Amino acid sequence: MSLPLGTTRKTGETCPESGVWEAQSSPSTTIPLAKGNQFPPYNNNAVTWKLIQYA
């Protein structure tokens, strides 16, 4: 069962769902991340990542 799009996690947490994640920051960016990997910082800052597309 997939997590809903819009699910959020923070830098350092483990990715719960493979897909494309968007940094909730300005400027923003997207990354592909596989389930089980750790969310990275963005621009040397801890950010919140939002699931926007399934893998």
Q: What domain range includes position 15?
A: 8-54
pLDDT at 1: 77
Domain-located, residue 44: yes
Using CA of residue 27, residue 40, residue 14, residue 17, what is the dihedral sign?
Answer: positive
In a domain, residue 2? The reply is: no
Q: Is residue 27 part of a domain?
A: yes
Within a domain: 33 = yes
Give the span between the Cα atoms of 25 and 19, in whole angstroms. Answer: 19
Can you give the pLDDT of all 55 residues of the chain as single tens digits? Answer: 799 999 999 999 999 999 999 999 999 999 999 999 999 999 999 999 999 999 9
**3 within a domain of the structure (yes/no):** no
pTM to 2 decimal places = 0.95
pLDDT number for residue 16: 98
Q: How many domains does the chain have?
A: 1
Question: Is there a domain that residue 1 lies in?
Answer: no
d(CA 49, CA 41): 10
